[in-house]
Chain A
Amino acid sequence: MSPDLLPNALTTGILMATSFAVLLTMILALVRATLGPTVFDRVLALNMFGTKTVLLISVVSFVTGRSDFLDLALLYSLMNFIGIVALLRFTQYNSFSDSVTSSGESNQP
């Protein structure tokens, strides 16, 4: 690893502080997601958790000096987005599912 790819002491300190803050936020989000109480608390908390993971990956990739990991962060945010959209779709069309299954049952006379 060439020295200029690695961050210097000050940058490292800042990056460490950042990751600490991000991790703290992640823990808080996880607590909210576990406790609930409503669906929307959870969805929000989970979404936030995903976003913070993306941040954490970015920070880590700068700490280790391998900025080629940044595309991973991109993928994570994409997956987070897909997950949340799928989840919201499900909560919105909850009733839709019933009609699907009832049509499935009607196949058996």
Chain B
Amino acid sequence: MNFIVFAILALLAITAVAIAKLRELWAVIMFTGIYSFLSASWMIILDAPDVAFTEAAVGAGISTVLMLSTMALTGKAEEIPRKKSLVPLFVVIVTGATLVYGTLDMPHFGSPDAPVQVYPDPSFVKRSEADMHGLPNVVTALLASYRGYDTLGETTVVLTAGIAVLLILRRNDEKDEPTQLAGNKTP
């Protein structure tokens, strides 16, 4: 199994760098889809098939289509090459170094006595067995019960985004143009 993980990690890194380097936007978008696929594959190996499922459908599916259609609306968009500033690179390196520094005291990957695995006791899996009367998929059980309120919030986020997109893209009819346009108005 190990070499599969290594290979997927390497592919992920290559894809990320390729996305940063490439200029043709459509290729970048497709690579973003690939990136989502790859991370979803890794998620399967990390025992999170539900997230992998959603990431593949949402990350690789919906967002790719959204981006491609945006590009269709905005016309051919190629990045204009410019002299690069070093400030972003500096910020990113500092942030990354901070994060790496933070990992030094983390429980090791997969460690069974990490706080995440030992607390709360009984674990979510055990608890949901009793509470959900043996619903097989614990993730679904959690999503709808203990963290059901987050799920309501998630639905609200989608509602917000839907209303917001309507609000932004809706065309103004001629008749209901604002009574005045910016600037001089004498009532």
Contact = CB atoms under 8 A, between A and B. Distances in A.
A72 B57 CA distance: 10
B154 to A, nearest CB: 20
A106 to B, nearest CB: 12
A33 B31 contact: yes
Looking at chain B's contact residues, the main secondary structure is: helix
Contact of B34 (A49, A78, A94, A104): A49
Given A101-B73, A101-B75, A76 B37 contact: yes
Interface size class of B (residues with CB under 8 A): 35 or more
Interface centre among A76, A80, A101 (most CB of B within 10 A): A76
27 contacts: A23-B3, A26-B11, A33-B27, A33-B34, A34-B14, A34-B18, A46-B31, A49-B34, A49-B37, A53-B37, A53-B38, A56-B4, A56-B41, A69-B44, A72-B44, A75-B57, A78-B61, A79-B37, A79-B56, A79-B57, A80-B60, A82-B65, A83-B30, A83-B64, A87-B68, A98-B75, A107-B171
Contact of A72 (B8, B56, B171): B56
Interface centre among A30, A57, A86, A107 (most CB of B within 10 A): A86
Interface of B: 1, 3-4, 7-8, 10-11, 14-15, 18, 22, 26-27, 29-31, 33-34, 37-38, 40-41, 44-45, 49, 52-53, 56-57, 60-61, 64-65, 68-69, 71-76, 171
A46 B60 CA distance: 12
B1 to A, nearest CB: 7
Given A56-B4, A83-B33, A91-B26, A100 B73 contact: yes
B27 A79 contact: no
Contacts of A98: 75
A46 B7 contact: no
Contacts of A94: 76
Interface of A: 19-20, 23, 26-27, 30, 33-34, 36, 42-43, 46, 49-50, 53, 56-57, 60-61, 63-64, 69, 72, 75-76, 78-80, 82-83, 86-87, 89-91, 93-94, 96-98, 100-101, 104, 107
Given A30-B14, A83-B60, A46 B34 contact: yes
B102 to A, nearest CB: 30
B30 A101 contact: no
A70 to B, nearest CB: 11
A91 B29 CA distance: 13
B82 to A, nearest CB: 22
B44 A90 contact: no
Given A19-B4, A53-B41, A60-B4, A72 B34 contact: no
